[in-house]
Amino acid sequence: MSIFKLPDLGEGLPDAEIREWFVNEGDEVSLDQPLVSMETAKALVDIPSPFAGRVLKCYGKAGDVISTGAPLIEFVLENAPARPPHATTDTGTVVGTIEATNTLLQESPTGIVIKTQASTQGRATPTIRALANKLGVDLSQLTGTGARGTITADDVTKAAVLPSSSSPSTTPTMIGEPLHGNRRIMAQQMAKSHREVVPVTLVEDADLHRWPENTDVTIRLIQAIVAASKAESILNAHFHGETLSMQLWDEVNIGLAVDTKAGLYVPVIKQVDKKSPVEIREALNALKQKALTQSFSPEDLKGATITLSNFGTIAGRYANPIVVPPSVAIIGVGKSRPTVIAKDGKPVIHTIMPISLTFDHRAATGGEAARFLAALIADLER
């Protein structure tokens, strides 16, 4: 027997959601045959089979969230005898714990399997433990209503939504449908930002009257962000709140907020500071095509050192765009408009672009953020 655990599909991601199984229990599979489509970091990833053999068990169904390192699929390997019906679960390739009758089998760092008494945690599947972790539910306080006292998703959900002032006999009802895929990941990231980041937003206008006709707006914005990042590098950085440490970047990797029918994606153009306007446009076109087909790879969606959200292509002037850690800053661009301004004591009409800069005040001072914004505006107005 061999149990394949879910690998880390991104930069230390804690879990992934099952989108579609390509195999069923009992199927014979070959090495590298696609097994399942997982969604994580806002990208779909097809996981190939690490073995040739027969599928004995699939852990979870479409829509379930699997923790990184938790069992995903169990195999009977080629030329290996099938497990007899009375045998306990084989944990030879599993790091962590899984339930096996009344004991837990746990693999030690030396590979030795250790038996311990089953705890409440052992009476919950990896998916249920992941759900409990997300909802802040202590499994040790629950009494399972499933077979042999196992804890079910309904047990966890009820414990999470039961108001403290309610009678224990109250049976709460989940309102609406749980989030999946892109929406679920966005909700997690926004909640993480709300918990961790200390945001401050500065706003200013850029006067674009010097721009020639047919200027590529996105390229000019990217070039201005690069110039501002060179002028005040602390905004082009990662801040790690757990260790109170900063990671400054020499290169500029811009994440671009992209609105699609499937939700928000933030693909990244790497080392944009080293690219020509033609190369930037080619990269933008490639990302646009991937957005249309929702075919971003995990590599496309990681490594941003600073983010641009051009929401003004739809509507809105100013905003307080959300910084997603570990990034320090995000620039929001509102809808440009003709505006009457004073020039040499006379009214003139210029095109004005509203700019919003949100930064994490744990990492940067107001002066640093203001100098960054001034450098960005200056580059746009040249």
List, for residues 293-352, the tens digit of each pLDDT value.
878 888 888 899 999 999 999 999 999 999 999 999 999 999 999 999 999 999 999 999
Q: Torsions phi, psi of 334, nearest 5?
A: -90, -175
At 147, which CATH number? 4.10.320
Task: State yes or no: pLDDT of 168 exceeds 70.
Answer: no
List, for residues 127-141, the tens digit of each pLDDT value.
677 677 767 787 877
What is the rounded CA–CA span in Å between residue 273 and residue 251?
A: 7
At 230, which CATH number? 3.30.559.10
Q: Per DSSP, what are the bridge partners of residue 40?
A: 43
As a whole-number percent, the residues of the chain with pLDDT over 70 amount to 80
**If 0-12 CB within 10 Å is exposed, 13-18 middle and 19+ buried, where does residue 166 land?**
exposed
Let me know: does 193 contact 322? Beta carbons within 8 Å: yes
Query: In this structure, are 194 and 340 located in the same domain?
Result: yes
Task: State yes or no: pLDDT of 202 exceeds 60.
Answer: yes
Q: Is 356 helix (H, G, I), strand (E, B) or coil?
A: strand
At 25, which CATH number? 2.40.50.100
Lowest mean pLDDT among 31-45, 99-113, 184-198, 259-273: 99-113
Query: In this structure, are 118 and 64 located in the same domain?
Result: yes
pLDDT at position 147? 61
Please say which residue of 178, 194, 217 terminates a domain: 178
What is the rounded CA–CA span in Å between residue 129 and residue 362?
A: 32
Quote the domain boundaries for residue 108.
2-128
What is the rounded CA–CA span in Å between residue 178 and residue 198?
A: 29
Please say which residue of 128, 163, 192 terminates a domain: 128
Query: In this structure, are 193 and 312 located in the same domain?
Result: yes
Query: In this structure, are 252 and 276 located in the same domain?
Result: yes
> How many structural domains is the chain composed of?
3
Q: Per DSSP, what are the bridge partners of residue 357?
A: 202, 331
Task: State yes or no: pLDDT of 220 exceeds 60.
Answer: yes
Query: In this structure, are 223 and 107 located in the same domain?
Result: no
Query: In this structure, are 195 and 163 located in the same domain?
Result: no
